C-alpha cells in the first residue's frame, strides 16, 4: 500500500507541467520502476524533494539578483546618458570659449597706458582754446588743464621713448615747431630726468 502515496507524491512534484503526459511507453515504464525504488527507500524521495526545494530557492535567489542587476544597469545607463549630456554641453561651452578667445586674439584689447611710464608729444599751450571736451573719447589726443595756465595739448602716446622722438620729428617737419616730448608716470606728468637713465639704456643702436 506504500506505492500509492509514493506515486501521489511524485505526481505532485510534476504538477503544473505536461511532461508526464507526454512520456513515451518506455519512459513511463522507467519512471514506474523509479517509483517502486522510492517506495522501497522513501528517504531517497525525501532527499529528492529537499534537493528540489533547495534548487527552487536558489533559482528564486538568482532571479532576484538578476532583477537587481538589471535595475542597477538601468540606473547606470541613465547616469551615463546624463553624463553624456553634460559632456556635450561642456564641449559646446568649450567651443564657444575657443571662438571667443580667437576673436579676442584677432581684436586685441587696447593697451593700458594709465600705468607705468609713457611718453606724449606736446604740440602747444593755448590760453583761449578749450579742447578738453575731446580728451575723453580720443586716447591719442589729450592735454592738461590748470587754473590760470595755458591748456597744454598732446598728441600720441608711446611706451617707447625713441618711437615718441621719431613722431616728434615728424610733427616738426609738418610745421609744429614747438613739438616736444613729455613723460608721464602712472598718469602723472614727471620730469624727463627721472626716466632719462632708462631711456638712454634702451636707445637703439645705429648702424
pTM exceeds 0.85 for this model: no
Phi, psi (deg, nearest 5) at residue 35:
-65, -40
The residue among 147, 148, 174, 107 whose CA lies nearest residue 156 is 174
Q: Span 117-201: which CATH code?
A: 3.30.70.1070
In the chain, where are the structural domains located? 117-201
- pLDDT (tens digit per residue) in 96-152: 888 888 887 776 666 677 788 889 999 888 887 777 777 777 778 887 777 777 888
DSSP letter string, 143-168: EE--TTSPEEEEEEEESSHHHHHHHH
- The residues, any chain, with a CB within 8 Å of residue 156's CB and separated by 6 or more, are 120, 121, 140, 164, 167
Taking the C-alpha atoms of residue 203 and residue 96, their distance in angstroms, rounded to an integer, is: 44
88-109 tens-digit pLDDT: 999 999 888 888 888 877 766 6
Amino acid at each position: 500500500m506504500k506505492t500509492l502515496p509514493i506515486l501521489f507524491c511524485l505526481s505532485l512534484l510534476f504538477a503544473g507541467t505536461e511532461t508526464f503526459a507526454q512520456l513515451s511507453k518506455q519512459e513511463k515504464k522507467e519512471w514506474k520502476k523509479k517509483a517502486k525504488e522510492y517506495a522501497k527507500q522513501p528517504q531517497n524521495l525525501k532527499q529528492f524533494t529537499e534537493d528540489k526545494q533547495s534548487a527552487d530557492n536558489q533559482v528564486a535567489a538568482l532571479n532576484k539578483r538578476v532583477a537587481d542587476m538589471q535595475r542597477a544597469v538601468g540606473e547606470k545607463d541613465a547616469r551615463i546618458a546624463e553624463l553624456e549630456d553634460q559632456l556635450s554641453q561642456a564641449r559646446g561651452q568649450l567651443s564657444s570659449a575657443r571662438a571667443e578667445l580667437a576673436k579676442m586674439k584677432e581684436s586685441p584689447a587696447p593697451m593700458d597706458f594709465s600705468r607705468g611710464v609713457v611718453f606724449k608729444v606736446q604740440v602747444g599751450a593755448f590760453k583761449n582754446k578749450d579742447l578738453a571736451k575731446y580728451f575723453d573719447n580720443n586716447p591719442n589726443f589729450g592735454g592738461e588743464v590748470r587754473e590760470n595756465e595755458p591748456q597744454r595739448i598732446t598728441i600720441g602716446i608711446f611706451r617707447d621713448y625713441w618711437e615718441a622722438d621719431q613722431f616728434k620729428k615728424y610733427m616738426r617737419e609738418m610745421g609744429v615747431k614747438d613739438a616736444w616730448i613729455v613723460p608721464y608716470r602712472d598718469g602723472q606728468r614727471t620730469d624727463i630726468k627721472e626716466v632719462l637713465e632708462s631711456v638712454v639704456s634702451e636707445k637703439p643702436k645705429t648702424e
